[in-house]
Amino acid sequence: MNIDISHYMTLITSMAVQYLPKIAGAIVVWIIGSWIIKRIVNFVGKRFDSSAAIDETLAPFFKNMINMLLKVLLALSVIGILGVETTSFAAIIAAAGLAVGMALQGSLGNFAGGVLLLIFRPFNVGDYIKAQDQEGVVEKIQLFVTVLRTLDNRIVYLPNGPLANGAMENLTEAETRRVDMTFGIGYSDDIDKARSAFKDVLASIPEVLKSPAADIIVTELADNSVNFQVRPWVKPEHYWGVYAETHEKVKKKLDEVGISIPFPQQDVYMHQVSAKS
């Protein structure tokens, strides 16, 4: 069988003339584009590192996301230079993105919540918060979960989606916090004497702030006691210490000045019915 070598040489030459410039152009575009992308990512990374508004946890993610997006756009450009129709690739990428988004809907919601928390900062590491029926000190703010440490040293992981979109109480953000406590005295005891005893107790605790002044008021005439609300102001970090110390000292002080602390009680009357003759 005779092989027409000249025909194949002509075909190879024709294809080389047709495709080699495109391939060379695609290679040049990829090299130059990669160099430009690297410079852009480095520049953006330095801006993120020097910005106080961008969290150190969030900055690497943003850098990687920008790098990936630019690389995808560069790859589509190179494919277009080679003469391949890029519309189908864009459709495939969009469909894949939609499928991944539907499959990871909950995780993406938590991720979006984490981004919002890291940007807007409703709380910081070290703050004491209440949210989702949990409370504790914030240990970590991650992209998908926020880690709390409770007062009894349990670790709680809160998903960021509900945390960012639900009610949340930051008990550390304000400079002061009021300690609300209720104490009852007997109906036969002197109210003014009791109020003076409460004032002496608060004055003996250094962590209780002088300003704003504490409230010591009668709030209820209950079944078994006259109830006082004692409301001193403290720094947030002193809340539980003052709460416990005040209760202990109030008990000792009321015992010292002869004021009773009532407790629920019942009187039982026995009726004797005489037998009829």
Tokens standing for 180? 């609300």
The set of residues, in sequence order, having a beta carbon less than 8 Å from that of 82 and lying 6+ positions away, is: 19, 22, 23, 26
Contacts of 7 (CB under 8 A, 6+ apart): none
CA angle 45, 49, 55 (to 5 degrees): 110
Distance (Å, whole) CA 100 – CA 107: 11
Single pTM value for the model: 0.56
**Tens of pLDDT along 181-208?**
999 999 999 999 999 999 999 999 999 9
Q: What architecture is the 5-103 domain classified under in CATH?
A: Orthogonal Bundle (1.10)
Question: Inter-axis angle of helices 191-203 and 239-257, to 10 degrees?
Answer: 140
Identify the residue whose tokens are 């690739």.
Answer: 89
pLDDT at 18: 63
Dist. CA 88–CA 80, nearest whole Å: 11
Domain layout of the chain by residue ranges: 5-103, 121-170, 177-257
Note the pLDDT of residue 235. Answer: 93
| pLDDT, position 104 | 47
- The answer to whether the peptide bond before residue 60 is cis (omega within 30 degrees of 0) is no
Domain 177-257 coded CATH 3.40.720.10: no
What is the second-level CATH architecture of the domain 121-170?
Answer: Roll (2.30)
In this predicted structure, what is the pLDDT of residue 90? 63
Joined together, the tokens standing for residue 99 give 């499928």
Q: From CA 120, how far away is CA 54, in angstroms rounded?
A: 10
Q: How far is CA 201 from CA 145, 177, 220, 227, 230, in A?
A: 42, 18, 21, 17, 11
Phi and psi of 20, rounded to 5°?
Answer: -60, -45
Mean pLDDT by runs of 10 across the 277 residues of the chain is 59 64 79 86 77 62 76 80 66 63 63 80 87 89 87 91 88 90 93 95 94 93 92 92 95 93 71 61
Q: Tell me the backbone φ, ψ of residue 126, rounded to 5 degrees.
A: 100, -15
